Amino acid sequence: MRDFPSCFGENGVQVADASCSSMTKSSQNVVTCVYKCKLFGQSCLVTITWRKNLMGQCLSVEIDDLLSQCLCKVDVKSSLFLKRKGSKCLEVNSHKIDMYWDLSSANFGSGPEPLEGYYLAVVFKGEMVLLIGDLKKEAFKKINATPSLSNAMFISKREHIFGKRVYGTKAQFCDNGPIHGLTIECDTIGINDPCLVIRVDRKMVMQVKRLHWKFRGNQTIWVDDLPIEVYWDVHDWLFGTTFGNAVFMFQTCSSAEKLWASQTFSDPYMPTWPCSQSFKESRLQGLGFSLILYAWKNE
């Protein structure tokens, strides 16, 4: 079994966050999304963080270069968030970056991230370098900007999920791909031999038995005919404190060699190698997405 940190590639983000173990549940209601965009003639990372706490909801947008140096940051605090729409103009290296958001019709679930009815845009030199949300047509009508020639790429998402035995979320593993229901099932209370099960749209795609011996590991699953490597670390569920969390990472495979090396042919839940042409086409669509889930057990 490969070490857990080995799953990180060019587009990876840190899975094990030392600060997580000391976080309270009220501060864990956070979703972080990272996009790669073209700014200043170079690739930059735009990190969008949605938070929900006792004071309400808030939003932050940070732009970093590929050396992780912060170029600018905008915080939409709870008091401003209540207005549900706004804009901000920033100056970086003598260039202006405009940010626009409209959450006036946004629909929120139990988490801090809006589900629908919103947009958030980043404009540079008259180009819409990043536009998220389902109200894209409305955004172009209200914002004087042209589509960017280089499309932004959604490269990672970090999310905290909660449950007692079943943990669920929604996941989209590639651009313009379908949104799937993703569930992680594991009962560790009073069970001598816990079993870890992962389902996509209620269909079991992975099962790990003898979890006390396999509390860390990785395996390849298939979703939308695409290979996805799953990494798990459930040590704190089994051997840690009451407030410990498990960590899961779903990483789209970046090369056929990496996938071939991780293939487990004896696994009954691992389909045979798909058509090579289908895999090549999927790579051209811009793979390299990682979903990181911190799974916390409810008391």
- The ranges assigned to domains in the chain are 32-154, 164-297
pLDDT of residue 180: 94
pLDDT of residue 159: 94
Query: For residue 186, what pLDDT is reported?
Result: 93
Share of the chain above pLDDT 70, in %: 76
Higher pLDDT, 137 or 11: 137
Report H helices in 19-119: 78-81
Q: Which of 46-50, 110-114, 181-185 is predicted with the least confidence, judged by mean pLDDT?
A: 110-114
Q: Where are the alpha helices (DSSP H) in 132-284?
A: 136-142, 235-239, 256-262, 276-284
Strand partners, 62: 47, 73
The region of weakest confidence among 18-22, 36-40, 271-275 is 271-275
What pLDDT does 225 receive?
A: 85
The residue type of 256 is A
Q: What is the model's pLDDT at position 254?
A: 55
Contact 213, 193 (CB under 8 A): no
- The whole-number pLDDT of residue 243 equals 67
How far apart are alpha carbons 291 and 214 in whole angstroms?
Answer: 21
pLDDT at 160: 93
Residue 257: per-residue pLDDT: 41
Q: Read off the pLDDT of residues 93-104 as tens digits, 9 standing for 90 and up.
A: 888 999 999 998
Q: How many CB atoms lie under 10 A from the CB of residue 298?
A: 9
The reported pLDDT for the residue numbered 264 is: 38
Amino acid letter, residue 259: L
pLDDT above 90 covers what percent of the chain?
Answer: 44
Predicted confidence band of residue 28 (pLDDT cuts 50, 70, 90): low
pLDDT tens-place string over residues 261-274: 444 333 333 333 23
pLDDT of residue 81: 67
pLDDT tens track for 39-91 = 888 889 999 999 988 777 889 999 998 887 888 898 888 776 667 888 999 88
Helix, strand or coil, per DSSP, at residue 185: strand
Given pLDDT bands bounded at 50, 70 and 90, which one contains residue 185? Answer: very high
Structure confidence at residue 56 (pLDDT) = 78
Which pLDDT score is estimated for 29? 86
Mean pLDDT of the chain: 79
Structure tokens belonging to residue 188: 């560790």
Question: Is residue 145 very low, low, confident or very high in pLDDT (cuts 50, 70, 90)?
Answer: very high
Q: Dihedrals φ, ψ of 249, to 5°?
A: -130, 130
CA 232 remoteness from chain centre: 15
